[in-house]
């Protein structure tokens, strides 16, 4: 395989910068399981404060944050309301079913966003001997499957009212919560105020090699610690990686605006390629989905042609839809090079596509 020079596959494709590596090398460390790692303790305090929650816990991944939150909030047989595009449904290997024994009630949202009325209509009757117990509303900020859409504050609050009315727990997958904060201008703690639990992924956009931080009430985090141990997520000298997280909070949040501007630029350039369908005005953060079916060339073929040049333009979800993400390790100039290469690949492949 060619060395990938330009990687738009994911905002996890970043490498720690020299500054981040220096912070990691110099981190003070201790035993995280005993809550004695000073750097991890500083990181969780910072994230709890950023998200306006009482407490937080450091975990190896975002998937583990979702898994533990579901485990704390739900019992076997409970039902979780979330959008049909949710990461927990499609990309966590059935984790909600396997680890928490829950059912998922997928909502038919628009670009990953469903309404309070949809959630309200999905809540099951209580005290029924037939239905699962509705227990949790779970949203994803931003919505990855929706194309990086930011949940409007009114909708987040309205869903909070539904949760309160029906005594449901309320969780926010915050893989790209800081993208939402920067993209909307709403403070992270205000975004997270209505939910019981949320988290930040340090490896998406923020440029860290490992880690995510789950936040909630003191009681929620005390329970989360039990599952962290059971799921194998309790660590030792985790200060080495927590230091990267602190560095990211100090250096890599405000700059997400640059990724968002680059994503809009990418979409604008893509829209000029004949046969590619994308609306640059719809891009809210760092994710761009685009339909290549009008080019007559299947997405996996375009993907392969660019990979041969060391350019990974993203994932091909199917024959029509491609996905590209902007991040810290990809510049505006590289995006322009990638789009040029894509336009050329479409041209080169067209005669073949027509002939077949």
Ligand X SMILES: Cc1ncc(COP(=O)(O)O)c(C=O)c1O
User: By the 8 A CB rule, do 311 and 4 touch?
Assistant: yes
**Least distance from ligand X to the Cβ atom of residue 102, Å:** 16
**Least distance from ligand X to the Cβ atom of residue 175, Å:** 3
**Least distance from ligand X to the Cβ atom of residue 55, Å:** 20
Selected range binding ligand X among 59-67, 74-82, 190-198, 295-303, rule: CB under 6 A: 59-67
Q: What is the CA radius of gyration of the chain?
A: 21
* 90/187 with CB nearer ligand X: 90
Residue among 61, 223, 334, 344 that touches ligand X (CB under 6 A)? 61
User: By the 8 A CB rule, do 246 and 42 touch?
Assistant: yes
* 11/79 with CB nearer ligand X: 11
- The length of the chain is 356
Task: Order the strands of the 55-59 sheet from edge to edge.
Answer: 55-59, 212-216, 197-201, 169-173, 134-140, 79-83, 103-107
Residue burial 260-288, b: 16+ Cβ < 10 Å; e: rest: bebbbbbbebbeebeebbbebeebbbbbb
**Contact pattern for ligand X over residues 114 through 153, marking x by CB under 6 A:** --------------------------x---x---------
User: By the 8 A CB rule, do 321 and 289 touch?
Assistant: yes
Residue with tokens 């690949």: 345
**Contact pattern for ligand X over residues 235 through 264, marking x by CB under 6 A:** ------------------------------
**Least distance from ligand X to the Cβ atom of residue 300, Å:** 20
For 29-90, the DSSP string reads ---GGGT--HHHHHHHHHHHHHHT-SEEEEES-HHHHHHHHHHHH--TT-EEEEETT-HHHH
Residue among 39, 63, 184, 286 that touches ligand X (CB under 6 A)? 63
Count of residues that interact with ligand X, criterion CB under 6 A: 11
Q: Is 85 a binder of ligand X (CB under 6 A)?
A: no
Q: Is 111 a binder of ligand X (CB under 6 A)?
A: no
Residue with tokens 């994230």: 47
Query: Residue 172 forms beta bridges with which residues?
Result: 139, 198
**Least distance from ligand X to the Cβ atom of residue 228, Å:** 14
Q: Is 87 a binder of ligand X (CB under 6 A)?
A: yes
- Quickly list H helices, 211-298: 218-230, 239-251, 256-271
* 87/303 with CB nearer ligand X: 87
CA angle (88, 286, 246) in 5-degree steps: 80
Q: Is 16 a binder of ligand X (CB under 6 A)?
A: no
**Least distance from ligand X to the Cβ atom of residue 284, Å:** 14
φ, ψ of residue 92 in degrees (nearest 5): -120, 30
Residue 282 CB contacts under 8 Å (≥ 6 apart), including other chains: 111, 147, 267
* 146/346 with CB nearer ligand X: 146
Footprint of ligand X on residues 204-223 (CB under 6 A)?
212
Footprint of ligand X on residues 291-320 (CB under 6 A)?
none
Residue among 203, 262, 284, 285 that touches ligand X (CB under 6 A)? 203
* 295/326 with CB nearer ligand X: 326
Q: Is 175 a binder of ligand X (CB under 6 A)?
A: yes
Q: Is 37 a binder of ligand X (CB under 6 A)?
A: no
Q: Is 62 a binder of ligand X (CB under 6 A)?
A: yes
Q: Which of 286, 288, 287, 321 is nearest to 303 (CA)?
A: 321
Q: Is 326 a binder of ligand X (CB under 6 A)?
A: no
Residue nearest to ligand X (CB): 62
Residues that bind ligand X (CB under 6 A): 61-63, 87, 140, 144, 173, 175, 201, 203, 212
């Amino acid at each position: 395989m060619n060395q990938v020079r330009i990687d738009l596959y994911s905002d996890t494709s970043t490498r720690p910068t020299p500054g981040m590596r220096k912070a990691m090398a110099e981190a003070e460390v201790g035993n995280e399981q005993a809550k004695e790692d000073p750097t991890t303790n500083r990181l969780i305090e910072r994230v709890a404060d950023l998200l306006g929650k009482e407490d937080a816990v450091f975990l190896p991944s975002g998937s583990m944050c979702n898994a533990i939150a579901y485990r704390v909030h739900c019992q076997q047989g409970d039902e979780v309301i979330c959008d049909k595009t949710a990461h927990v449904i499609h990309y966590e290997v059935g984790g909600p079913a396997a680890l928490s024994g829950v059912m998922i009630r997928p909502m038919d949202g628009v670009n990953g966003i469903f309404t309070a009325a949809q959630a309200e209509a999905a809540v099951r009757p209580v005290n029924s001997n037939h239905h699962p117990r509705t227990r949790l509303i779970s949203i994803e900020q931003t919505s990855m499957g929706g194309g990086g859409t930011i949940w409007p504050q009114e909708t987040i609050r309205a869903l909070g009212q539904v949760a309160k009315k029906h005594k449901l727990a309320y969780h926010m997958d915050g893989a790209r919560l800081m993208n939402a904060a920067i993209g909307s201008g709403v403070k992270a703690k205000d975004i997270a105020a209505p939910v019981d639990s949320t988290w930040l992924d340090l490896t998406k956009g923020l440029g860290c090699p490992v880690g995510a931080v789950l936040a909630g009430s003191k009681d929620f985090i005390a329970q989360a610690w039990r599952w962290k141990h059971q799921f194998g997520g309790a660590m030792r000298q985790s200060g080495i990686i927590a230091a990267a997280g602190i560095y990211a909070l100090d250096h890599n949040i405000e700059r997400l605006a640059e990724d968002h501007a680059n994503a809009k630029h990418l979409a604008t350039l893509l829209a000029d390629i004949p046969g590619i369908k994308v609306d640059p005005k719809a891009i809210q953060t760092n994710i761009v989905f685009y339909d290549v079916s009008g080019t007559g060339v299947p997405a996996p073929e375009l993907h392969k042609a660019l990979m041969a040049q060391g350019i990974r333009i993203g994932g091909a979800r199917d024959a029509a839809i491609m996905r590209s993400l902007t991040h810290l390790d990809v510049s505006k100039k590289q995006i322009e090079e990638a789009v040029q290469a894509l336009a050329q690949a479409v041209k080169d492949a067209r005669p073949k596509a027509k002939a077949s």
